[in-house]
Amino acid sequence: MTAVPIWFVSPENFSRVRDEVGALAAGFADACGFEPKPGKMQLMPTPDGGLAGVLFGLGGDPLAAGQLGASLPPGAYRFAAPPENAELATLAFLLGRYRFDRYKAAPRPAPSLEGPGVAQAESVAAAIFRGRDLINLPANALTPSALEQEARALAAEFGAEAQVTIGEELAQGFPLIAAVGAAATEAPRLVDFAWGRLEAPKVTLVGKGVVFDTGGLDIKPSSGMEIMKKDMGGAATAMTLARLVMQARLDVRLRVLIPIVENAISGPAMRPGDIYRSRKGLSVEIGNTDAEGRLILADALSLAAEEAPELMLDFATLTGAARVALGPDLPPFYTDDEALAVEIAAFSEKSRDPVWRLPLWSAYAGMLDSPVADLNNAPGSPFAGSITAALFLRRFAEGAKAWAHFDVYAWNPKPRPTGPQGGEIQAARALFALLCARYPAR
């Protein structure tokens, strides 16, 4: 079957495109009141009632092409002429096709795209879809053991073997992870795998894997708990980026650490005022049981930093304060490495995968002081919540040659051209572009 052409139109080229599509199709578009404005789409018929082509106003944003993948009827399509930034437009089309439909009785077939660059974009989109699927899975399906199996499967797919620390060994070596998950039906655990040649630069990814967050004894209200299945979005982000790195065979010694817990409530639940000794040796007073993500990341970051990786990146759905500051679409990131910050910003802009640097403002570190321990996990102050969370993590990231923390939301509160409402992978495309530039495949 011949792929249906898609013409990207603007006021400047519309006259020429009208000549290309022919009088019948152009007349039909006129009768429908089509105008070549950004986001406008028009299907054009053949004389026998088939689909002759599609007009679409792309405007200046190549990601708007995701609307085509989301809206077009099933079938094969092609770009009649490559738009500006065709690589991103191709990826956007493919990302827009995503639907979380595994629980639907009759999933709707998605349109396909043919043409240059599609195969490479498909591999990126497929990795992001897997990450979105993980976030969208309900907590009764994505339990701690199920997320462990997902991480094991990812490692095995690329020839790596995952090590899992659980039970007494976890309690001895990673006491903060053990404390956070102590009240759940399924035990907390830490998944750890490495891939790539031993001599390659060490790049470590750490992802928060809280499969559901009640808030613990500082329980969330029902409105705050509604989408807490997404609290493993940091783990999904780390696993997505890891998949992109491994399938591109970048020249790195990649290590992936996923601390996995459910923050539940039962007799063994940690309490406000409890004090735990971390893997690093620092004691932590529990100021709020709902600030659990930084606790499990602290132990995992401590382990990662022990081998002094060249680059360490962590991802977590960590604070509501980040959403208050920057909203759901713009995750903040933190780093003391100025060169790394410049790189992240540049690749974020180039890939249209937005992130925004916020400061590791050391003057706020005193907010983490505790009169009875080395640190408190949750300052009583209502100010600078995302910054103080990052400052807490920085204490455990010492040893890495460069480190950045990403406070992602991992959720689309409403549909966008490149994806529907629901789970989203943020920052991974920008960081993959950065890693490709730094560590190309051999």
**Closest C-alpha among 411, 374, 391, 367 to residue 301:** 391
Neighbour-count burial for 178-189, b at 16+ CB within 10 Å, e otherwise = bbbbbbbebbbb
Q: Which 3 state secondary structure label does DSSP give 78? A: strand
What sign for the dihedral angle of Cα 174, 177, 180, 184? negative
Does the active-site annotation cover 294?
yes
Considering 40, 78, 99, 220, which one is annotated as catalytic?
220
State the CB neighbour count (10 A cutoff) for residue 32: 11
Beta strand 422-423 pairing with 41-45: unpaired
Q: How far is it, in rounded angstroms, from Cα 118 to Cα 93?
A: 10
Chain-centroid distance, C-alpha 277: 30
- What kind and span of H or E run contains 322? helix 320-326
Name the one residue in this structure whose structure tokens are 């094969």: 76
Select from 69, 116, 76, 74 the least CA-distant residue to 93.
69
Element (H, E) at 295: helix 293-305
Query: How far apart are the C-alpha atoms of 67 and 227, rounded to whole Å?
Result: 25
- For the question of residue 208 being annotated catalytic, the response is no
Cβ–Cβ < 8 Å for 142, 211: yes
Number of Cβ atoms within 10 Å of the Cβ of 106: 5
Tokens (6 digits) for 204 = 């470590």
Please, which residues have CB within 8 angstroms of residue 324's CB and are 6 or more apart in sequence? none
Contacts of residue 254, Cβ cutoff 8 Å, sequence gap at least 6: 194, 195, 196, 203, 204, 205, 242, 245, 246
> Which residue among the candidates 294, 395, 416, 429 is catalytic per the annotation?
294
Helices (H), 97-193: 118-136, 144-157, 168-173, 175-180
CB–CB of 416/66 below 8 Å? yes
Catalytic positions, written as ranges:
220, 294
